[in-house]
Chains A and B, each alone.
Chain A
């Protein structure tokens, strides 16, 4: 899947310094649980996101342990206090050791 790892971060518009804002993220990924089978009945090996890190500037503010039960193309949304202008960077890692990154600027 050529698009695996393509990621998106959406921040709201019109916030000001100190506001708590909601970040919405999507990372294109098959999220195979390891429990599914293909058309010939052969098991599909697990291939899913295992962790997500959230960096705000130089500081890691959040990290996540992700399992195959998160749907295909993981949608994960969280909140962050917009205390200063800095990039919000999200890093996804998966069962094959792939690392995907996406950033969005928080401007206050």
Chain B
């Protein structure tokens, strides 16, 4: 940890101490809530790596507004398209962020949002294909000021 990181960490701790009502870590989701949200999307299938590109900042200075984009490689034809894209954040009190159902008329499997992160957390993107296969990508986003409230 260099001097800059120490200062950032100290500032983050200060913010927590100053605003305990606004930022309570007691809100973080239980791990089984995350597993439940994942199972609801995958239907118990093991997610494969690849095809899903998840774009999110490595460090989000403001957890209230974190830009996240998901793109899934697919021809988006009647016979082969992406049925849904779901974004989850493990450490949010409610891990589900957004889920979108797509059709071939979308032309491309793409979703971009601005989302909240209560604290540093893995962000996951799941894509369910028209043949039922599931693909996923994950990225950890470090949050210096949480956006829980």
Chain A residues packing against B (C-beta within 8 Å): 20-22, 24, 33, 35-37, 41, 44, 56, 59, 61-72, 74-81, 83
Q: Chain B residues with Cβ under 8 A from A20's Cβ?
A: 106-108
> What are 15 A-B pairs with beta-carbon distances under 8 A?
A21-B107, A24-B112, A35-B24, A62-B106, A65-B98, A65-B100, A67-B96, A69-B96, A70-B97, A71-B147, A72-B65, A75-B114, A76-B111, A77-B112, A81-B76
Q: Chain B residues with Cβ under 8 A from A74's Cβ?
A: 113-114
Q: Is the CB of B106 within 8 A of A63?
A: no
Chain A residue at minimum C-beta to C-beta distance from B92:
A69
Q: Is the CB of B105 within 8 A of A70?
A: no
Chain B residue at minimum C-beta to C-beta distance from A56:
B105
Q: Is the CB of A79 within 8 A of B96?
A: no
| Interface of A: prevailing SS | strand
Q: Is the CB of A71 within 8 A of B108?
A: no
Q: Chain A residues with Cβ under 8 A from B66's Cβ?
A: 71
Give, as a whole number of angstroms, the nearest-CB distance from A20 to chain B.
4
| Cα–Cα distance between A75 and B67 once the two chains are bound (Å) | 9
Chain B stretch 69-120: residues in CB contact (< 8 A) with chain A: 69, 76, 89, 92-94, 96-118
| Cα–Cα distance between A37 and B21 once the two chains are bound (Å) | 6
| Cα–Cα distance between A51 and B111 once the two chains are bound (Å) | 15
Chain A residue at minimum C-beta to C-beta distance from B62:
A71
Q: Is the CB of B27 within 8 A of A61?
A: no
Chain B residues packing against A (C-beta within 8 Å): 21-22, 24, 27, 64-66, 69, 76, 89, 92-94, 96-118, 147-149
| Cα–Cα distance between A61 and B66 once the two chains are bound (Å) | 26
Chain B residue at minimum C-beta to C-beta distance from A37:
B21
Q: Is the CB of B65 within 8 A of A71?
A: yes
Q: Chain A residues with Cβ under 8 A from B111's Cβ?
A: 76-78
Q: Chain B residues with Cβ under 8 A from A69's Cβ?
A: 89, 92, 94, 96-98, 115-117
Q: Chain B residues with Cβ under 8 A from A35's Cβ?
A: 24, 27, 93, 118, 148-149
The 3 A-B residue pairs with the shortest CB-CB distance, nearest first, are A81-B107, A36-B149, A20-B107
Given the known interface contacts A33-B148, A36-B22, A69-B92, the answer about A78 and B114 at a Cβ–Cβ threshold of 8 Å is no
| Cα–Cα distance between A65 and B98 once the two chains are bound (Å) | 6
Q: Is the CB of A72 within 8 A of B148?
A: no
Q: Chain A residues with Cβ under 8 A from B100's Cβ?
A: 62-65, 78
Which of A70, A71, A72: most chain B CB closer than 10 A?
Answer: A71
Q: Is the CB of A70 within 8 A of B98?
A: yes
